[in-house]
A and B are shown apart, each in its own frame.
Chain A
Amino acid sequence: MNFGIPFTPPEASSIAGSIDTLFYTLLAFAIALGAFLAGLVVFYAVKYRAGSKADRTGERGRSLPLELTWTVASILIAFVIFGWGVVLFLHREHPPLDALEIAGLGKQWMWEFRHPGGQREINELHIPVGKAVIVSLASQDVIHSFFVPAFRVKQDVVPGRTTHVWFIAEEPGRFHLFCTQYCGTQHSEMGGWVTAMPPEAYAAWLGNQDHAETLAADGERLFRALGCSGCHGNSSKVRAPDLAGIFGRPVPLNNRQTVIADERYLRDSILNPKKEIAAGYEPVMPSFDGLVDEGEMQMLLAYLKSLSAPATGEANQ
């Protein structure tokens, strides 16, 4: 009965409902307060219009108790809304451990996604319903932003770092995917569709896609082609850190600090190896800045992560 006019976006993810609850509660509060103030002003405007016979005796323009009351009330209400927003927001920070990880790459002006099995798609993203999906996002050029309104998720994609967004689709369907950070000429064309499908259908879809190798296998091939294995391999003459199980592990550095080998560390170590040098090793590794693009970086990271696949869960805890 809405004549094809949309009023609300679909609620298609596990968090959409709770965010809408906050939104509509806040909307009700805003309408109530707005209506009260509008009513008050209109009431005064009519009652005290020039020439009316209303009683105007009384104190001059101040009332400390009244002012204190509304100040304290504003503070309390603001903090309730603040707290509610924070609780839902921090949910973003804790993706489930068994999530399916898909690599997403933004470039002017398209999205490229690669599934763990190596399946590539452009401006389309197929995901299974009911399973947590993490999209790890990188950008080839400028800042983009990954936005699926039906899932109520958004994350900027910043060149030079990896960001993440995760969601659980709750119903099958095709949903808009937008880029929401202005990124140049065809910004408004940089979008597509997210297709949520039942897990069986997703598995079938994956099977039908052309793909030579998994993302990690592509990464391994690249690892050899770039000559990484020459030093990091088991039989190499140059002494370089062993990368088995590296991801998520603490790495002692030569400046007596320790860092966790997360995506940032691995990325920096490839592009800028002299920045943080593992303790006990010579800084002999050359920089691969300019030799690997963001897509290849994602393959390498997938490969390095696959080296510690069984240990990942442990390391994250």
Chain B
Amino acid sequence: MSASNESVAFDTPARERRADAFAMWIFVGSEAMLFGAILLVFFMARISYGAAFAAASQRLSLPLGTLNTVVLITSSFAMPLAHLYASAGRWRAALWSLAATVLLGLGFLGIKTAEYTMEFREGIAPVLGAPFTYDGPDRVHAEFFFGLYFAMTSLHALHLIGGIVVIAGMLMLWTRANEASRLRRVHAIGLYWHFVDIVWVFLFPVLYLINR
């Protein structure tokens, strides 16, 4: 058992790294079922109330949504850079790439917060007892749309926050971790980060681009 292993179960770091990546893939599969279930609910509702959903979707801010998509996709470039540098042993560059990923993630959350605030002000946020003053057609089902919108985007945001917290934790423990475990962690969190991005890439057209 080499000292660089975290788990007593493995005899070589390479085996442990493969196992970590495999575990992360399974976890991503599990997460996909979570978002899949909610997307399925959304699609079933959309089939029933297509017109109401399309009209309600127009009220979401397309510029902010697009900006957020760009921000998140950029972070998806920063993340593999971190992995690339880490594999090459260029730890300082890897550190900066990870920091950039976190900053972009925070940027996404900031924009999302601004968007939520706007929506609360406009009265199209039927959550937490906020007044719902939507004046478009088919108010009942528009409310349903906004309910789903808040459920889905906040769940996604929670996942992003989770990713940011984990990367921040990694950065804090950066100097204490040996190189093998750094590489393993960057690899695993990278998979997760891409998954969270891909979820957004599904949510964006589904929520913002109906009938545009």
Interface size on B, residues (CB 8 A): 8
Give the complex CA separation of A275 and B47 in angstroms: 12
User: For the side of the interface on A, what is the size category?
Assistant: under 10
> In whole Å, how far is B187's beta carbon from the nearest beta carbon of chain A?
43
Residue of A nearest to B136 (CB): A274
B52 at interface (Cβ–Cβ under 8 A)?
yes
Residue of B nearest to A287 (CB): B140
A289 at interface (Cβ–Cβ under 8 A)?
yes
Decide if the interface of chain B is mainly helix, strand, loop or mixed: helix
> In whole Å, how far is A259's beta carbon from the nearest beta carbon of chain B?
13
Residue of A nearest to B138 (CB): A274
> In whole Å, how far is B206's beta carbon from the nearest beta carbon of chain A?
21
Residue of A nearest to B55 (CB): A274
A255 interface neighbour in B51, B137, B138, B141, Cβ under 8 Å: B51
B137 contacts A289, C-beta separation under 8 Å: no
A283 contacts B140, C-beta separation under 8 Å: no
Give the complex CA separation of A283 and B139 in angstroms: 13
Give residues 109-149 of B contacting A (CB, 8 Å). 137-141
B49 at interface (Cβ–Cβ under 8 A)?
yes
B52 interface neighbour in A255, A275, A287, A289, Cβ under 8 Å: A275
Give residues 260-278 of A contacting B (CB, 8 Å). 272, 274-275
Convert B52-89 into 0s and 1s, putting 1 for each residue whose CB lies closer than 8 angstroms to a CB of A. Answer: 10000000000000000000000000000000000000
Give the complex CA separation of A272 and B139 in angstroms: 9
Residues in chain A near residue B49, CB distance under 8 A: 275
Give the complex CA separation of A275 and B141 in angstroms: 9
Residue of A nearest to B140 (CB): A272
Residues in chain B near residue A272, CB distance under 8 A: 138, 140-141
Give the complex CA separation of A272 and B48 in angstroms: 13
Give the complex CA separation of A273 and B139 in angstroms: 11
A289 contacts B140, C-beta separation under 8 Å: yes
A-B contact pairs, 14 of them (CB 8 A): A255-B51, A272-B138, A272-B140, A272-B141, A274-B52, A274-B137, A274-B138, A275-B49, A275-B138, A275-B141, A283-B137, A287-B139, A287-B140, A289-B140
Residues of B in contact with A (beta carbons under 8 Å apart) = 49, 51-52, 137-141
What 11 new A-B contacts, CB under 8 Å, besides A274-B52, A275-B49, A275-B51?
Answer: A255-B51, A272-B138, A272-B140, A272-B141, A274-B137, A274-B138, A275-B52, A275-B138, A275-B141, A287-B139, A289-B140
